[in-house]
Amino acid sequence: MDSGSVAPLLLFALGGFLIGGVAAFWNKNRTVGVLFAVLSAMAIAGGVLWLIG
């Protein structure tokens, strides 16, 4: 496995981890939940774009 195939996987894993943070923080602190949602979307989009490009 080269780094070109590992990096998108790590970005997807980070996105999933951050989605868990959204679920955990949504009722406690909505601002942090929204921040985690945005970061998660960016990580997943980065992984997809990495695979496309």
Domain that holds residue 15: 3-52
Residue 36: burial class (beta carbons within 10 Å; 0-12, 13-18, 19+) = buried
Per-residue pLDDT tens over the stretch 19-42:
999 999 999 999 999 999 999 999
pLDDT of residue 5: 83
Percent of the residues in the chain that have a pLDDT greater than 90, as a whole number? 81
The answer for residues whose C-beta is within 8 angstroms of residue 10's C-beta and 6 or more apart is 47
pTM: 0.85
When divided into structural domains, the chain yields a total of 1
Give which of 1, 14, 8, 3 is closest to 52, Cα–Cα: 8
3-class DSSP state for residue 12?
A: helix
Is the pLDDT reported for residue 3 higher than 70? no
Q: Is the pLDDT of residue 1 over 60?
A: no
